[in-house]
Amino acid sequence: MPPAEAVPPATAASRRAQHVWIASPDASLGLALGDRMAAQGWIVSHANSWFHAFSPPPPTASVQVIDSQWTLEAWPDYRPAPLPTVHWCDAVELPLLLDCRSWPSGDAFVLKPYETCQLADWVESLQAGQAGNLQALKRCGPMLLDLSQGRAICQGRVTPLQGRQLELLRMLVEAQGDLVPRAQIEDQLYRWGEELGSNAIDVHIHALRRKIGPGWIETLRARGYRLCPTGDAPTTL
**Domains of the chain as residue ranges with CATH:** 12-132 (3.40.50.2300), 161-227 (1.10.10.10)
The percent of residues above 70 in pLDDT, for the chain, comes to 89
- Lowest-pLDDT range of 7-21, 90-104, 188-202: 7-21
Which of 89, 93, 122 has the alpha carbon at shortest distance from 107?
Answer: 122
Which of 1, 16, 213, 42 has the alpha carbon at shortest distance from 129?
Answer: 16
pLDDT score, position 51 = 85
Q: Extract the runs of DSSP E, i.e. beta strands, from 53-167.
A: 63-67, 85-89, 108-111, 137-140, 143-146, 151-154, 157-160
pLDDT in tens, 40-51: 999 999 998 888
Q: Verify cis geometry, omega within 30 degrees of 0, for the bond prior to 160.
A: no
Q: Which residue has the higher pLDDT, 16 or 168?
A: 168
180-181 and 224-227 beta bridge pairing: antiparallel
Which of 95, 75, 179 has the alpha carbon at shortest distance from 138?
Answer: 95
Query: With 50 as the cut, is the pLDDT of residue 216 above it?
Result: yes
Residue 224 backbone phi and psi in degrees, to 5: 155, -150
Query: With 50 as the cut, is the pLDDT of residue 4 above it?
Result: no
pLDDT score, position 55 = 84
pLDDT score, position 198 = 61
Average pLDDT over residues 1-6: 38
Q: Which residue has the higher pLDDT, 90 or 188?
A: 90
Banded pLDDT at 197 (limits 50, 70, 90): low
Q: What is the DSSP letter of 176?
A: T
Query: With 50 as the cut, is the pLDDT of residue 194 above it?
Result: yes
Q: Which residue has the higher pLDDT, 11 or 191?
A: 191
Give the burial class of 124: count Cβ atoms within 10 A of its Cβ; 0-12 exposed, 13-18 middle, 19 or more buried. Answer: middle
Contact (CB, 8 A) for 20 and 85: no
Long-range CB contacts (< 8 A, 24+ apart) of 103-112?
Answer: 103/134, 104/132, 104/134, 105/131, 105/132, 105/134, 105/135, 106/131, 106/132, 107/132, 107/134, 108/84, 108/132, 108/133, 108/134, 109/133, 109/134, 109/137, 110/86, 111/146, 111/149, 111/153, 111/158, 112/88
pLDDT in tens, 151-164: 999 999 999 998 88
Buried b (16+ CB within 10 A) or exposed e, 7-34: eeeeeeeeebebbbbbbbeeeebbeebb
pLDDT score, position 151 = 95
Banded pLDDT at 7 (limits 50, 70, 90): very low
Query: With 90 as the cut, is the pLDDT of residue 176 above it?
Result: yes
Element containing residue 19 per DSSP (H, E) = strand 19-23
Question: Count of residues for the chain?
Answer: 237
Banded pLDDT at 13 (limits 50, 70, 90): very low
pLDDT score, position 8 = 37
pLDDT in tens, 74-119: 888 888 888 999 999 999 999 999 999 899 988 999 998 888 899 9
